[in-house]
Amino acid sequence: MPARSSLATRILVVFGGAITVSLLAASLAPLVRMNAIVDEGQQDLSSLMADVWDRIDRSQSGAQTRWAEESTESEHAGISARRLSLDRARRDAEHDPFLASALDRFLTDPRQDEVHAARRGLTSFEYRYVRALRSGPPESRELKGVILLDRRSYEASRLLLVNIAYLVAAGTAIVAFSLTAFYFLANRLILRPVRALTSTAEKVREGDLAIRSEIRTGDEFERLAETFNLMLGDLSSTQDQLRSINRALDTKLNELAEANVALYDAAKLKGEFLANVSHELRTPLNSIIGFAELLLEIARAEAPSDGELAPPVQKRVRYLENIVAASRGLLELINSLLEMARIEAGRVDLRLERISLRDACQGLLGLIAPLADKKGLTLKLELSDDLPVIETDPTKFQQVVFNLLSNAVKFTESPERSAKPGVVTLRAERLVASQAGGQSERVRVSVIDTGPGIPPEEIGKIFDKFHQVDRGHTREHPGTGLGLAITKELAGILQGEVTVFSEVGRGSMFSLILPVRTDPDLAAEIQIEAGFRGKVAGRRTWF
């Protein structure tokens, strides 16, 4: 059946096929029985005709059988009858399989006296009949000859064809009547309710939720229609509720939009104020640091030749050192805020140069050495022999690695306070390009420390802005929580990534993974994205 055929067509085809198959199966037994009845009648007729011919033949031959004779034969109206002696029958059986089979049965079973055979043709049936002629007592009758009867019957063929025609006509009439009655019943009991429900569903699809199905059949279709009506009622009620909710949401949305505009203006004003104040604070702060360092040098120069400072001078030196340390911490905070504002505003440009990774790592380790020596930490440098010359922004690369080194030195305890030696290792190595992943050649610069480590639940948060693992008021290592956030942003601008592996009590390893060659197209995309982000943020920065 076609995939888009109607339900009525499908029902008629299925039901008609089922009726046809059932009638064919039911007609098979009567047809076989009719054939058997015709065959039995023809066998009785053959036996009767053989009796009649035998009496006629005996009367014509002197009322006694002479077995020495070869045979007697007569033929009339398509019927051939022959009386054969046993010797003649055996000679004829050499060319007649039916006669040979009959003789074999007669000789094997003395009680067997008749054998029938039939062959059906298109317009007539051919019947063969063999009767045994025996003599002697019943218990030992001897076969003396046979009567062979061959005849053609047109009436048997006609009767069988008539019976088949009656069966076909009756079956056709039954199928036609059944299909007509079934179509009427199916149309009234099934198709009409289905069409009514379909029509109602079409109107609902067009948006008419006020329509209801009016089916009164008293069966499952009526219950289905009632359920459909209840569903429409619930749908209409839900739609009214949704309209009310949408109106309330529209009101809230307008309120949120107004609040969002106010927040946007406030955030913009805050960003401008922060950038402006940070910029204005940096200039006088540099002057404070410069004069404080100058006064510190003058105070230290007042020391006598034996190196001992007077108590008032020692107090002044201590105060000046505190001023310098606090000023430098404040300057670092301002620089971090300005750097983050610059990144968020999309004002970070890439200046690509070819740099030696070996020389860059040695220089960075030299920069961090004074801080490490002050805490008594050991610095190590591990460089692979095959380090390539990379193409990147030297300033941003040094800023990222220096931030990682500075954090490692800051959070690694000195040997005086810890039972284990404090070691900070800077490692640079070449990564093999992955052809399967389509990755280009890359390098990895890792900073490994023996600090306290980072708890697993905090690793996913350490790159967030203003997030610090120790957030207490008495934390030992003060800071703004912007260092790692800036590091992650700069690594993304350099087309790299920062990874971290840490274990509490054993230390941490921060790694910067960079491509050996920077992709200019990707750099342009990052620059456009940063500029768009800066416009969306609505920030104005002065630096």
Q: Would you list the domain boundaries of the chain?
A: 7-172, 227-350, 351-470+480-517
Out of 178-182, 360-364, 388-392, which region has the weakest mean confidence (pLDDT)? 178-182
Q: How many CB atoms lie within 10 A of CB 224?
A: 16
Q: What is the per-residue burial (b if ≥16 Cβ within 10 Å, else e) of 358-390?
A: bebbeebbeebeeebeebebebeeeeeeebbeb
CA-closest candidate to residue 486, choices 336, 347, 282: 336
423-431 vs 497-503, strand pairing mode: unpaired
Residue 124: phi and psi, rounded to 5, are: -155, 160
Mean pLDDT for the stretch of residues 95-99: 88
Where residue 513 falls among pLDDT bands split at 50, 70, 90?
very high
Q: Which residue has the higher pLDDT, 266 or 323?
A: 323
Statement: residue 489 has pLDDT above 90: no
The reported pLDDT for the residue numbered 267 is: 67
Q: What does the pLDDT average to over 86-93?
A: 87
Nearest CA to 449 out of 333, 368, 358 is that of 368
Mean pLDDT of 374-378: 87
- Domain covering 227-350 assigned CATH 1.10.287 in the classification: yes
Examine the pLDDT at 447 and tell me if it is beyond 90.
yes
Token representation of residue 518 = 């920077």
Q: How far apart are CA 477 and CA 410, in angstroms?
A: 7
- Secondary structure (3-state) at 443: strand
Q: Rounded distance, CA 406 to CA 401, Å? A: 9
- How far apart are alpha carbons 194 and 369 in whole angstroms? 88
Q: Token digits for 11?
A: 């029902």
CATH 3.40.50.1980 assigned to domain 351-470+480-517? The reply is: no
Query: What is the structure's pLDDT at 491?
Result: 86
- Per-residue pLDDT, averaged over 513-532, amounts to 74
Return the closest-CA partner of residue 128 out of 109, 108, 147, 143: 147
Highest mean pLDDT among 138-147, 276-285, 385-394: 385-394
Give the pLDDT band (50/70/90) at residue 504: confident
Q: What is the mean pLDDT of the chain?
A: 78
pLDDT tier, 304 (very low <50, low <70, confident <90, very high otherwise): low
Average of per-residue pLDDT across 450-478: 70
pLDDT of amino acid 542: 38
* Mean pLDDT to the nearest integer, 450-456: 87
Whole-angstrom CA distances from 278 to 284, 349, 461 are 11, 21, 26
Specify the amino acid at residue 210.
A
Kindly report the backbone phi and psi dihedral angles of residue 468, in degrees, each rounded to the nearest multiple of 5, phi listed first: -135, 140
Nearest residue to 117 (alpha-carbon basis) of 134, 145, 96: 96
| 341 neighbors 275 (Cβ within 8 angstroms) | yes
What are 56's two structure tokens? 């006629």
More confident residue, 196 or 382: 382
